[in-house]
Amino acid sequence: MVEGPAVTIYVRDNCIAAVGNSSGSAQGQGSTGMMTDQGLAYLVWRDGQAYLSGKGGETPATPGQIEAIRKFSEDLKDALS
């Protein structure tokens, strides 16, 4: 999506991830988030329950959202390897 001197942003559907750049190569993959009606939210687990947490608060994550984030994270990790 966007490449800058310090970070590259990758997007697929509603999923988004920031990856740090160093000398033009991808470094550490940050957390994968999801765009929601309240803005960017990250998947967090509390007492075995998945939530999307962001500045707009927390909402329970659906199985579809969990799977989309998991798959995007895995695919991005594979692509950057």
pLDDT band at 43 (very low <50, low <70, confident <90, very high): very high
For the chain, what are the domain ranges?
2-80
More confident residue, 56 or 49: 49
pLDDT score of 73: 93
Average pLDDT along the chain: 87
**Residue 4 · residue 13 · CB < 8 Å:** no
Average pLDDT for 39-54 = 94
pLDDT band at 27 (very low <50, low <70, confident <90, very high): low
Nearby residues of 35 by Cβ (< 8 Å), 6 or more positions away: 14, 15, 16, 41
pLDDT score of 38: 87
Summarize pLDDT for 55-67 with one digit per residue, the tens. Answer: 989 999 999 999 9
pLDDT score of 2: 64
